[in-house]
Structure 1
Amino acid sequence: METTMEMHDLCAIAAREPRCVLATAVKVEGHAYRKQGVSMLLTEEGVRYGSISPGCLESDLQARVDRVLDKEQLEFVEYDMRPADDLSWGETIGCGGLIIILLEPVCGELRSILSRMHTYFQSGSPVELTRSFYHQYTRIHYVIKVVIHPSGSGAAATDSDSGKSVSQREGRSEPESRDIPLQISTRYVPKPRLIIVGAGNDVIPVARLGRSAGFRVVVADWRENLCTTARFPGVELIRGFPHEIIPVLDIQSGDYIVLMSHQFPREREFLELLEDRNYAYLGIMGSRTRTARLLNDLPPLKHVHSPVGLTIGADGPEEIAISIAAELVACKRAAAVTECLNVQRGITHATDGYRASGR
């Protein structure tokens, strides 16, 4: 199975949280808020990262964290919201169905596995995590595999990495009676990278929305006074001119690129350096006339979206940022199945202001 949960983030968070528990939905039947395979982290201090329900299960899961950490044992928790007359859950759960959640203390080999998964995610590699249960579900053997997508093929090949085994003390449930398989595999994809060339004020909301939409955001600019952590918190920053940042970026086939510097010569230089490189999306801020001038005499570039953003009648930097984020999400979702949708485009983003009009 494949899940859209951002395990990329959870792996990074686990590295800095000394005592936390990984909660994973290992079985889902009927209607549920999230799908099977989704995970979240719960810390000893009560901080929660991610979600499995609309908020109705997390408090109960949090109450189990201290026991799981203190005993260093896994635990299975079942929430059955299927009975129509279940008054204890029916008015608060917000959904109906069966959810079985595995709680694992993040220590020892699991911590090592999550750290290695994060390294693969940072390099852009999808990862498959397999849990094999032994001794009446009281022991787990972990195996991670790097998933490789051959060029031009829809099938995925796997490159096995070394497996790890961890022993857990006796659990508090009897999952075998609930028909939980002895082996569960979940495939996680890394967060796609959104590279924004330019660090002006109009980039700030695009970077913020890009992060919220599940992108790993990188802002690149040669103007050091603009490309700062104060202006772009939580964003990777690369400072330099196009010929300096291109080698550092090492653009990959899954990258999304948006040109928003409003500096014609620099963007032209960047586009010239994109020749023969693969990427998923290239959005260019500005009018059609400006883009035509930018692309003049260049070899045909792939996946160009210009003017960038969906046609929603956006006006002002915040609305324009929303239109850009919406187009990025549309292409990201479509790319998971087939080529990027031929989404409607046609917003004119004037370089001398923030007027936008559909065409």
Structure 2
Amino acid sequence: MEDLHRILEAIQDSGQRSVLATITHVEGSAYRKAGASMLVFEDGSQIGVLSAGCLETDLAARVPEILAAGVSCGFVFDMQSSDQLSWGEETGCGGVIHVTMEPVNGVLLEHLRTLKDCLDQHTEVMIIKKIGPDRSVSDYAFVAERERFFGDWRGGFPQNLMELAVSEGYFVHTYYPKPRLMIFGAGPDARPLAAFAAATDFSVTVSDWRPALCNRSYFPDVDALLVGFPEETLDKIQSTSNDYAVIMTHNFRRDQQLIRMLSERKLSYLGVLGPKHRMERLLNGDPAQTNLRSPIGIAIGAEGPVEIAVSILAELIDTYRKNRRRTTINYAT
């Protein structure tokens, strides 16, 4: 997912000065798309990446100068040319990347904290940056939901936000809350799935009625562990249409119970581990919900818990990306 979530968490905990680097425009192909961000601290440490290592060293070298000046700067990296003096030497990327670098001063820091609060509350936020002729950021604003507005924007604010996305001189991007993955079943095969999902910035919840399995020693990276039977734990979960659920308890009766209860909720993804014939027995003749998947995972011939976890996570990411492409925030115009 986006590095922004890790960046916002790091800013909360660090006392160092830092610079936020953001790709605002890409011409041709590039490792990361517009909207990708990286945070560079004063000591040179970094959160996130903007390339496969082509840009990071140069961007880090510019941080002391930007912090000293206290103003944003914009840079263009031409990865197309094979000229030895250009950024294209033997990279093979073939694109032109526009990057803005903004010192995280007190004002921007406060706005980034507000952004984190919105995302933690499962609210999508649109960022609008006005890019000057020198490619620096002259104004920026965050818009959450229909009326919540915060940022550093001088003068009148544009009414039709979506038109700015294709307007020269503006950068518009939507930040989404972390997608939540709910894993029901804490057996050994759930452990790699939970770890991989957390590493790709899913907010992971694991639920199981067996405390010997559902504990932090097996799931150190998840956000929540819920011990209890389905009828006990599901009441504690306020699910949304942006949530994903995988049923893998390996208990026939519990799987049936979870299918029945979760099918009543509007989820982005609901999958059950197991072969097709088991799924037919679980449904017992009932028509499958349109969003119910089984078998789950991308067909890669996976064997064993780790490979199966990779195939499931690939399908989750694929579903997430497709959902994002179909989703547009309904802002007032």
Paired letter, 2:282:
L
CA contact (8 A) 1:213 1:325 kept: no
| TM-score (normalised: structure 1) | 0.76
| CA spacing shift, 1:104–1:207, aligned 2, 3 Å | same
Give the Cα–Cα distance (whole angstroms) in 2 for the partners of residues 321 and 45 of structure 1: 37
Tell me, what secondary structure is at the counterpart of 1:89?
coil
Aligned partner of 2:11 in structure 1 is 14
Aligned partner of 2:256 in structure 1 is 268
Aligned partner of 2:172 in structure 1 is 185
CA contact (8 A) 1:42 1:62 kept: yes
Paired letter, 1:42:
V
- Tell me the C-alpha RMSD between the 2 structures: 2.9
What stretches of structure 2 of length at least 5 have no aligned partner? Answer: 155-166, 328-333
Deviations 1:9-45 (A, max 9, x none): 3222322233322101223333332222221111223
Aligned partner of 2:88 in structure 1 is 90
Tell me, what secondary structure is at the counterpart of 2:34?
coil
| CA spacing shift, 1:67–1:268, aligned 2, 3 Å | same
CA contact (8 A) 2:130 2:140 kept: yes
Aligned partner of 1:28 in structure 2 is 26
1:310 partnered with 2:298? yes
Deviations 1:133-184 (A, max 9, x none): 67987774332122xxxxxxxxxxx5131222289xxxxxxxxxxxx95432
Deviations 1:62-89 (A, max 9, x none): 1122333344322223323444434453
Count, aligned residues: 313
Aligned partner of 2:197 in structure 1 is 210
Paired letter, 2:211:
E
Aligned partner of 2:74 in structure 1 is 76
Aligned partner of 1:163 in structure 2 is 150
1:194 partnered with 2:181? yes
| CA spacing shift, 1:69–1:301, aligned 2, 3 Å | same
| CA spacing shift, 1:226–1:47, aligned 2, 3 Å | farther
What stretches of structure 1 of length at least 5 have no aligned partner? Answer: 147-157, 168-179, 340-359
| CA spacing shift, 1:181–1:17, aligned 2, 3 Å | farther
CA drift at 1:325: 1.7
CA drift at 1:298: 6.2
Give the Cα–Cα distance (whole angstroms) in 1 for the partners of residues 237 and 297 of structure 2: 23
